[in-house]
A and B are shown apart, each in its own frame.
Chain A
Amino acid sequence: MTFLVTALIIWLLAWRLNAFLAIQAQQKLMGFVVPALFGLTVLIIWELLVIGLAVPGVILPAPTAIVVAFSTNIHILWDDLVQTFFKGALAGYTIGCGSAFLTAIAIDRSTFLKRGLLPVGNFLAALPIVGTAPIFVMWFGFGWQSKAAVVVAMVYFPMLVNMVQGLSASEAMQRDLMKTYGASYWQTMAKLKLPAAMPFAFNGLKICTTLSLIGAIVAEFFGSPILGMGFRISTEVGRLALDVVWAEIIVAAAIGTMFYGLVTGCERGVTFWHPSIRGQSAP
């Protein structure tokens, strides 16, 4: 009972404190402190509620139990990460986004193909492609290759659609200017169309970071060697070792955020000229 009361008090205090902090003058600092405090409060209340209500570990493990599971299983988690992310997801991401990029450039000259590809690509990008996982597992075996193939299928169309749109993002006036310079097709491509397509390309790349992880993890539910994040999640769920599952989810969340952050960082470097980036970095 005392745990529950403590949880309630902490929640009210943190709420008041956040409400107070949110109206403070230092915007930049508060933009970091307030969400951190919110996250911390959630964790503390979670811990207290699990202890106070005596929630069994097979339903919801306490954050401390998850941290313990994380540190005791760190080698397993690392091996799973290598198998699922560095082998499966990253290989598929590179191949899928790379080939979509090249396809977009290849069909850029034909308005006819572009007009046909956009609706079809948009349609295919909205489909539950992750369902192709059993087929790819059948074709490429249980190893990481089948996971990479699923990821390729998942990221290809979102990337392609974004890239095709991006390549037509340059304005007629700008293209005319390139013509008056006597620029060849490939010069126009390199100096005008590709740079203009970069905001769209990065939009696609960012969407695909999450898709690639989802694809690699879900594909492992359909068959996998004895390691991998999706394999670990499904087997540990079966053994009701939910603290390990949560530890694995923390790893997935961390690597997903880092991957996304990395792509966003590249985006800032490449599309520094775009208004949405310029506006943010202005003092």
Chain B
Amino acid sequence: MYPEDLKYTKTHEWIKVKENRGIIGITDFAVRRLTDLVYVELPSKGEKVTKGSSFGTIESVKAVFDLNSPVSGEVIKINEKLTNKPELITEDPYGEGWMIEVKLQDIAELNTLMDAKEYEKLTKEEEEK
């Protein structure tokens, strides 16, 4: 089961929205595929992110993954703790392992994201492939 108060992307990122701000991270489904996370690269405060485009990268043992933003907007906060403790993403992907907070440019973009039930269906399909 995935947290019901979040919205999800097909590429396994989540967003938690409060008014016009959204906190972004990756799901525990994505985390399970990332054995031994070693580095995270996040944007700086003030940078613009675009829905569907890369906002950062993450390296597990020998593989670099692009992180895709679920929405467009401006980065207002980043989780500084991840620089020295990337394992927080693995240990607590929906809590301490959050990555960035974004000021949303267009709230309507949220309608294109999946809810927990739809996301669960997607992950089941992916596992069966």
| A and B part of one assembly | no
B residues bordering A, Cβ < 8 Å? none
